[in-house]
Amino acid sequence: MSTLTTVDDATAPQTRVDGSFGGKSSGRAFKDQLARVVMWTAFFVALIPLVWILAATFVKGGRMLLDIDWWTVSQSGITARREGGGAVHAIQGTLIQAGVTALISVPIGVLTAVYLVEYGRGRLAKAVSFMVDILTGIPSIVAGLFIYALWVTTFNFQRVGFAVCLALTMLMIPTVVRSTEEMLKLVPNELREASYALGVPKWKTIMKVVVPTAFSGIVTGILLGLARVMGETAPLIILGPYTPVIATNLFDGLMPTLPTMIYQNYPESLQPSVDRTWGAALTLILIIFILNLLGRFIGRFSKVRS
């Protein structure tokens, strides 16, 4: 009996005073430190181009944003050699197209996610999920060409701002679907079961319990998806070329945006055009940055997290 006790004591793992097991081996400690160094090195390497781009954009485009005319005047009558003018026409066009895109994409995306999470069973749900995955991987230029073939070539309509919204909708819907789907899955099943136990129908449980619980997370995903499509350029070049005047009608004539303003002024080597290019780029970055901050702020108050 004493021999067994001695052997067990010798082979048992030694514990410290604080209750933890013996320290790491030197090999594991080395690997841990190596992984830590590699991770931080990769982080700083990835940070270098980001900081470089942001710094260059602020330095070269910040002067334009400090001019009040940039926010109140369009480029109507401004030539490539002439300084002045602003970007109010492009800002308005970007916000209008983004708003209409969200108006179309959000109901379709949210309802599709609700179907996949709450009702989706069988082949139809698998087909819908598969199509969402396909849309997620479609390049923006392919979406623009598809709408061009359908809108211009097939129906003989003119290139207008609404056609751009249709192309951007194809890019935004899968983002909204996947983000909403993940947030709905985070809602505890106990909430659904408690509602069912009280005799509440399933559709009302979804509307009154599930969706409100995940609402903040859903809004965050919508804002992030909107920020993504606002920076797209290919569909805008194909379906809505740039115009230097204010145009707010989605169904009549061209509509200027910040990406097409950048595309229009970039080839010009004259300094006024270069300044307008950097100013438009910085304006677009600030708008997207504000949307991302708003999404993060709303996400902090998500009921799912609490």
Helix axes 122-136, 161-186, angle to 10 degrees: 120
Q: Is residue 30 assigned to a domain?
A: no
Residue 93 three-state SS: helix
Give the CB-side neighbour count of residue 25, counting CA atoms within 13 A. 3
Angle at 108 between CA 106 and CA 112, to 5 degrees: 115
Q: Which domain holds residue 273?
A: 84-299
The CATH number assigned to the domain holding 238 equals 1.10.3720.10
Residue 17 — pLDDT band, cuts 50, 70, 90? very low
Q: Is residue 106 assigned to a domain?
A: yes
Q: Is residue 56 assigned to a domain?
A: no
Q: Is residue 35 assigned to a domain?
A: no
Q: Is residue 242 assigned to a domain?
A: yes
User: What whole-number distance in Å separates Cα of residue 126 and Cα of residue 103?
Assistant: 26
User: What whole-number distance in Å separates Cα of residue 52 and Cα of residue 73?
Assistant: 30
The pLDDT, as a whole number, for residue 117 is 93
Q: How many structural domains comprise the chain?
A: 1
Q: Is residue 14 assigned to a domain?
A: no
Average pLDDT, rounded, for the chain: 86
Cβ neighbors of 192 (< 8 A, separation 6 or more) are 205, 209, 210
Based on its alpha-carbon atoms, the radius of gyration of the chain, rounded to whole angstroms, reads 27
Q: Is residue 74 assigned to a domain?
A: no
Q: Is residue 213 assigned to a domain?
A: yes
Is the Cβ–Cβ distance between 195 and 209 less than 8 Å?
yes
Sign of the CA dihedral running 149, 251, 100, 159: positive
Long-range residue pairs from 37-44, CB within 8 A, at least 24 positions apart, any chain: none
User: What whole-number distance in Å separates Cα of residue 42 and Cα of residue 4?
Assistant: 52
Cβ neighbors of 114 (< 8 A, separation 6 or more) are 180, 184, 206, 210, 211
Q: What is the pLDDT of residues 159-200, one digit of tens each?
A: 999 999 999 999 999 999 999 999 999 999 999 999 999 999
User: What whole-number distance in Å separates Cα of residue 4 and Cα of residue 180?
Assistant: 60
The pLDDT, as a whole number, for residue 21 is 47
Residue 252 — pLDDT band, cuts 50, 70, 90? confident
CA proximity to 109, closest of 25, 192, 182: 182
